[in-house]
Amino acid sequence: MATAVKPDIKLEPSPNPFEVAQQQLDEAAELLELDTAIHHLLRWPLRELHVTLPVRMDDGSTKIFHGFRVQYNDARGPTKGGIRFHPDETIDTVRALAAWMTWKTAVVDIPLGGAKGGVICNPKELSDGELERLSRAYIRQVGRMLGLKKDIPAPDVYTTPQIMAWMADEYAFMKGYNEFGVITGKPLALGGSAGREDATARGGIYCLREAGKILDIQLDGATTAIQGYGNAGSFAHKLGAELVGLKVVAVSDSRGGIYSKDGLNYSDVLAHKQNTGSVIDLPGTEAITNDALLELDVTVSIPAALESVCTVRNAADIPAKIIVELANGPTTPEADKILYKAGTYVIPDFVCNAGGVTVSYFEMVQNAYNYYWTEQLVHERLDEKMTAAFHAVHDVAQVYNVHNRLAAYLVAVNRVAEAVKLRGWVA
């Protein structure tokens, strides 16, 4: 193994994710010479709702939870964005994610804006009944903001198709009729889309495939490390091997990671995680921390967990040739500059992980006319969208001689700013 095991040491406080999002926007606005009023408008959410949720627990007690829904910008269409259940959720995290969703829908050129929601809770400590009551309580409070022409939620960290089904049912009860398209990421039996489950990872692998062509890097057999083994990370393992031949040598989750120079078999890792709740201690592997995983000498690094894991303190120690950002906001602005100077090719998050929202959009379209596509057709249309977005960003990066994240902002912000101006929001 190229990097010694070392403890996860936090040498600096995690940056505020919303301040990071604003800083990234500011840099793009300067290059675009954006109108001052438009720039200031795009720095803040158009609206947000804070909610307090009393939930009856299994033991008969009532516990109070707090949640949020942020609608960042709807100039290009109804807002769209996931709902997170996470113990460390904050309003600034939700604001940042809603901003990134705004840029994400714009960069893949789908007619939606950006939103995000979250509840401060630890779903691992809740029973299925408690999760259902919490999910329904959340929709009862934020439902007034939702609708096919207003705001369409989806799953995110620690939320599932089953949770989306409960939410869709609660919304239908509130309205008095079914409107399945108002919640995406649903089970197939309730109007979900084929191909939604692995869409985030699949879109990222399509982008990686294109990067390999541009950089003339052989991906078949390329060593890869994946930080985060939830939906996106686990499917990145599976699809990375199947679609481009990646050799995954390390993976991790919130409890730690594993490494094997000979490569990790997807089926073995998945079965072990399902049986034990974590990837750690898989027989035949070495232990590795989440920090050390990012610093492995691999060709491809895939951060697929939470934000701000690549910062100024570790960016210079990341030797990967390509970083595939399946997580939201894994790299800080200062780290971007270090990686760019080092020649690391970063596929930025709101391009790379846009496969999820793209197929959610496909789900909305299918719900709208009540006719459903085959999985093959979903894959083909996702490939078309992701490939076009990747090359739009790469081409702008070459024209402006900037790193890919800034190029992605230039593409997305320009599209949103044009909509704002055409609608007459800013004179």
Per-residue pLDDT reduced to its tens digit, 126-142: 999 999 999 999 999 99
- Measured CA to CA, the distance from residue 339 to residue 330 in angstroms comes to 13
Residue 10's pLDDT band (cuts 50, 70, 90): very low
Q: What size, in residues, is the chain?
A: 427
pLDDT of 333 reads 87
Cα–Cα distances (Å) from 382 to 110, 207, 376, in that order, read 12, 11, 10
Residue 116 annotated to the active site: yes
Local structure of 47: helix, strand or coil:
strand
C-alpha 171: how far from its chain's center?
24
- Measured CA to CA, the distance from residue 57 to residue 354 in angstroms comes to 36
- Residue type for position 183: I
Which parts of 45-127 fold into alpha helices (H)? Answer: 91-107
Q: Could you identify the residue written with the tokens 């620690």? A: 158
Query: 298: Cβ–Cβ under 8 A, 6 or more apart, which residues?
Result: 222, 223, 224, 225, 249, 250, 319, 320
Average pLDDT for 186-197: 94
> Which architecture, in CATH terms, is 194-427?
3-Layer(aba) Sandwich (3.40)
pLDDT of 406 reads 94
Looking at per-residue pLDDT, the higher value among 391 and 157 belongs to 391
Local structure of 377: helix, strand or coil:
helix
Residue 372's pLDDT band (cuts 50, 70, 90): very high
Q: What is the mean pLDDT of the chain?
A: 94
The contacts found for 408-411 with CB under 8 angstroms, 24 or more apart, are 408/103, 408/107, 408/348, 408/350, 408/351, 409/24, 409/25, 409/27, 409/28, 409/103, 410/28, 410/31, 410/32, 411/106, 411/107
Query: 136: Cβ–Cβ under 8 A, 6 or more apart, which residues?
Result: 166, 167, 169, 170
- Full strand arrangement of the beta sheet holding 223-227: 286-288, 256-259, 247-253, 223-227, 300-303, 322-324, 345-347
pLDDT of 328 reads 84
Query: 290: Cβ–Cβ under 8 A, 6 or more apart, which residues?
Result: 8, 227, 252, 256, 257, 305, 309
- Measured CA to CA, the distance from residue 23 to residue 209 in angstroms comes to 30
Exposed e or buried b per residue across 75-99, where buried means at least 16 C-beta atoms within 10 angstroms of its C-beta = bbbbbbbbbbbbeebebbbbbbbbb
Predicted TM-score (pTM) of the model is 0.89
Residue 3 has pLDDT above 80, yes or no: no
Which of the following is catalytic: 6, 10, 104, 116? 116
Per-residue pLDDT reduced to its tens digit, 12-64: 466 788 998 999 899 999 999 999 999 999 999 999 999 999 999 999 999 99
211 and 322 Cβ atoms separated by less than 8 Å: yes
Where are the CATH 3.40.50.720 domain residues in the chain?
194-427
Write down the CATH superfamily of domain 46-190. Answer: Leucine Dehydrogenase, chain A, domain 1 (3.40.50.10860)
- Residue type for position 287: A
- Measured CA to CA, the distance from residue 6 to residue 334 in angstroms comes to 23
- Measured CA to CA, the distance from residue 222 to residue 220 in angstroms comes to 6
Where are the CATH 3.40.50.10860 domain residues in the chain?
46-190
